[in-house]
Amino acid sequence: MVTLPQPRFRGRSSDVELWLSAFTPEKRALELNGALSNPRAEVELSRLRDVQKRLLLKAAANHMEPRPAPARPSPVLETITRVLELENRPMRAREIYSAAEELLGRPLLWKSVKGTLFNYAQGQTPRFVRASRGVYQLADQHRPGENPEPGRFLSSGSSASTGSSSLNTTTE
């Protein structure tokens, strides 16, 4: 049984110290010597050097600049914006999510929709306004002092009749 030296202090560095202590200079020299004396590796490495030289010469002869990736707006951001434009009213985040999936025609990640709403409702010029908890609307549709009551998303585009909602906090 091999006994390893006890670490002098606790933490990550003690583990590294323990691991390194297992590799004595004699063992390292033996392993390096074995790797260098491998005739098969020498042949394979010489082939690899030839391929590298050929590729470097080819790259030098046909110098091409990498093409920049085209800037593409986030489909999530554009879809959320379009949904809120079509509805023209404050909507719950879950309503926005289902309407965005319906409009885009493919599934979206809830985390992406939620994150986009949160991030673009902040800053100097926000795109969305958080009207109340979990309810968002476009910033240019927001009228200060208005108490929004979210309704249901209608795919036909007509205005929604809002029933009673637990989010309605109108005071009389």
Number of Cβ within a 10 Å radius of residue 84: 23
Cα dist. 152→95, 119, 165 in Å? 7, 24, 11
Reported CATH class of domain 75-141: mainly alpha
Predicted confidence (pLDDT) per residue in 128-157, tens digit: 999 999 999 999 887 666 554 444 433 444
Q: Does the global pTM surpass 0.75?
A: no
Higher pLDDT, 59 or 100: 100
Cα 96 from Cα 81, distance rounded (Å): 9
The pLDDT > 70 percentage for the chain reads 59
Cα dist. 41→32, 45, 46, 47, 70 in Å? 13, 6, 8, 10, 43
The DSSP 8-state label assigned to residue 3 in this structure reads: P
Q: Where are the alpha helices (DSSP H) in 38-159?
A: 39-61, 75-87, 93-104, 110-119
Segment 79-84 shows an average pLDDT of 96
Residue with tokens 């583990």: 15
What helix, strand, coil percent values describe the chain, rounded to 5? 50, 5, 45
Cα 80 from Cα 94, distance rounded (Å): 11
The pLDDT > 90 percentage for the chain reads 34
Furthest-apart CA atoms within the chain: distance in Å? 91
**Residue spans per domain, the chain:** 12-61, 75-141
Residue with tokens 């979206």: 108
